[in-house]
A and B are shown apart, each in its own frame.
Chain A
């Protein structure tokens, strides 16, 4: 199988980037998309060129480290999967495949296809935790949590933090990411004590990181590898209003 990759190359955060073409032969359908890039990188090394920098770690769709735009879509042509789970069988022999980094003001490019997503860590830092020290926990079954509540919390908690929601949003909003985390904690009894503070502080951080606001286009839930529903954002907004009213 042979394809033409058109890949964004950028030496560093302050350099100018450009799309470069690479014709790659010797691929097969069972290869993952990232393995095709590995293959291209081996060819580049042998031609004495620098490899293309791109992100990955687990390569099984759970760590959230991978993520690029492929032919204009976050994580490629399918809904709800990560880049590392995309296989070459999704393309045809002779296809042209355009590969670009996540685009968002809050995710500056570091090199080639790699961006800086540390803004997401800073949102977490502002309250995505339960303030309790190791060693102070009560017996686990002393607080009963209905299955439905636990399941709902789990739906939201499944977020892998890849940033596809931000990258695909025309406003570069991090609302889905932030909402998922807030709703995970705030729907559980353990998260109650700090619920209002958590909403307020995480949403504030989201603003100062420069993420845009949500206009409910729904683009994010289409790309989210964990299929986290956009209703989470409505729920977060309701929690926000409540936290203001109760102040």
Chain B
């Protein structure tokens, strides 16, 4: 199968318009007869579901939480980027496009990245209209701040709760359409399989998490908006329920997986403090606007941080990257922290952290300003650690955070299965090998609100003439049967180890070999070990309770079974890519100064993996740079 990215003709700035002019329209009467399933109610899912419903389609929307409002978009703190140039600091669509492409180390498509920047300004208009209480200046205009990896102020924010406010706006609009009876909402429902009929996506199998019942839903198109899969590392900044099951099942049914190993490790999370830890809390990157990162110059310095004089502190980001300093992009900041920690300079109980210090900012701007800017983050820090960060530096550490990888999609956000779309974090599209801070709320939102509702017509226009699928089709029966057997098999193992035991094992291997720094031998070992974990899981796991009841342990087991398989693919992808780019750092490919060595001559492509009976086959989408010249990424 040849990958067709369907990039429209014309100069960058006309591509999206050209696309819209040429795409099919469907008349309102026909739209009413067409139905769309949206799996996920985060920014991308809720945005897509409500907008598709406004356009007249009949929409069913699913999420695993008890309410659509709780999708993990709610946890984003820092902000959302847009090229409004309100600060008059020289920002533009082109600059934002270039920053994003460069931030991703030239491993994403020009056309997609440009469209992301182009739609950013109207998105802010949209959210303001929906009542998002963004931060404002005294004069009443919108305020901005800056985020890592860029030199302009283009980030819009609502205190430290930007994701929550955007999410609640999206949820409001979703419920507006629930009230209009155009969206039917199914909370506490987990998609366990995709149903493909004659090569096209026509429905899903869902487990009702209250009753355990397996249910069938059919539609003319299926949209996955299921978020990131970084819980494959177990410890991450994601919610406990975040999973890779929906995309994994779609992958097994034929959707190619794009750049699965590209994972962002965030530099400023709270360090792990015990084995029992279930998640790592993120401290917003915006803190790096005013906080300075350092470790002691001497290994094993046991003095309290405030007792260490200035000249004995190593502000290593400022030292290594003088022009960006503490605002270096995430991949670079995380790797630099890992370098210091591995070299023995780590601080804290487990020597696994670095300091983030506000002393100078408080001296310069006053306590009140810092409280205004970050009050709720400092409160959160105190609640979790018991430490007052106005008085002593925070301790922070890198944590798995964001999946740049995801289902491969073309310019229309359609996967390689006709009629199956992927939006938001679960697709691979705009961020390349590293995502810039505050760009993914943006991507999830424009995917859902602006792009998909324009592109899905193109497909549905042809489907409107076809028969509408029925849940009585044998493919539904087959898929349901397979899931039912899968569940029975897990419950029957009755071994001696818990699901969490295996998840910890998987997380350990993935974190060691497939996170901030990777190498051939390590990845080969990881693949072997994960296969052993898979074998052990299927022999020794123990899950109590029944299939036909609310059973949180079974939910965890089903998610983990998919994570294990996904972990193998991630390591396979990381092994295949013999270069360093963005967050993907292969130790064999680095410069003399320890910076990433990209190899455009061989690896300027998006890897797109096809599932092949338990094995994976690589396809390559060549990345052609028509408008910019991929430079060596430098933040020095």
Q: What residues of chain A have their CB less than 8 Å away from a CB belonging to chain B?
A: 12, 28, 30-32, 34-35, 38-39, 41-42, 44-46, 48-51, 53, 55-65, 81, 85, 87, 89, 110-111, 114, 116-118, 120-121, 124-126, 128-141, 143-147, 150-151, 153-154, 157-158, 160-161, 184-185, 188, 190-191
Contact = CB atoms under 8 A, between A and B. Distances in A.
A130 B244 CA distance: 33
Interface in B327-342: none
A183 to B, nearest CB: 11
A28 to B, nearest CB: 6
B211 to A, nearest CB: 10
B542 interface: yes
Interface residues of B, number: 81
Interface stretch (B145-153, B163-171, B430-438): B163-171
11 contacts: A58-B240, A59-B240, A63-B239, A65-B67, A81-B383, A110-B550, A117-B67, A129-B176, A146-B140, A147-B138, A188-B131
Contacts of B496: 46
Given A62-B164, A191-B131, 19 more contacts: A28-B274, A34-B278, A45-B553, A48-B542, A55-B66, A57-B70, A58-B72, A58-B74, A63-B239, A65-B65, A81-B383, A125-B175, A125-B178, A129-B176, A135-B126, A137-B126, A139-B125, A145-B136, A147-B140
Contacts of B135: 150
A55 B68 CA distance: 15
Contact of B175 (A42, A44, A128): A128
Contacts of A160: 164
B580 interface: no
Nearest to B553: A51
Contact of B240 (A57, A147, A153, A190): A57
Contact of B136 (A129, A146, A191): A146
A58 B450 CA distance: 27
Given A130-B131, A133-B54, A191-B131, A59 B553 contact: no
Nearest to B175: A125
A123 to B, nearest CB: 10
Contacts of B542: 45-46, 48
Interface string B129-143: 111011111111110
B69 interface: yes
B167 to A, nearest CB: 9
A172 B550 CA distance: 26
Query: A-B pairs with the 4 shortest C-beta distances?
Result: A144-B140, A137-B129, A129-B172, A137-B125
Nearest to B47: A134
B281 A53 contact: no
A132 B130 contact: yes
Contact of A118 (B67, B158, B279): B67
Given A51-B544, A125-B179, A129-B173, A118 B131 contact: no
B308 interface: no
B129 A130 contact: yes
Contacts of B159: 154, 158
Contacts of A135: 126, 450
A240 B466 CA distance: 51
A124 B70 contact: no
B309 interface: no
B241 A42 contact: no
Contacts of A125: 175, 178-179
Interface string B270-310: 00011011110110000000000000000000000000000
Contacts of B398: none
A129 B545 contact: no
B119 to A, nearest CB: 11
Contacts of B240: 56-59
A41 to B, nearest CB: 7
Contacts of B281: 59-60
Contacts of A48: 542, 544
B552 interface: yes
Contacts of A151: 133
A32 B270 CA distance: 14
A41 B556 CA distance: 12
A33 to B, nearest CB: 11
A187 to B, nearest CB: 9
Contact of B176 (A12, A39, A131, A139): A131
Contacts of A158: 159, 161, 164
B67 A121 contact: yes
Contact of A44 (B124, B140, B544): B544
A132 B122 CA distance: 14
B449 A134 contact: yes
A60 B279 contact: yes
A207 to B, nearest CB: 17
B443 interface: no
Contact of B133 (A61, A62, A118, A157): A157
Interface string B538-582: 000011110001111100000000000000000000000000000
A150 B179 contact: no
Contacts of B384: 85, 87
A41 B542 CA distance: 12
Among A89, A128, A138, A141, chain B packs the most CB atoms within 10 A around the CB of A141
Contacts of B187: 118, 121
A215 B280 CA distance: 40
Contacts of A161: 67, 69-70
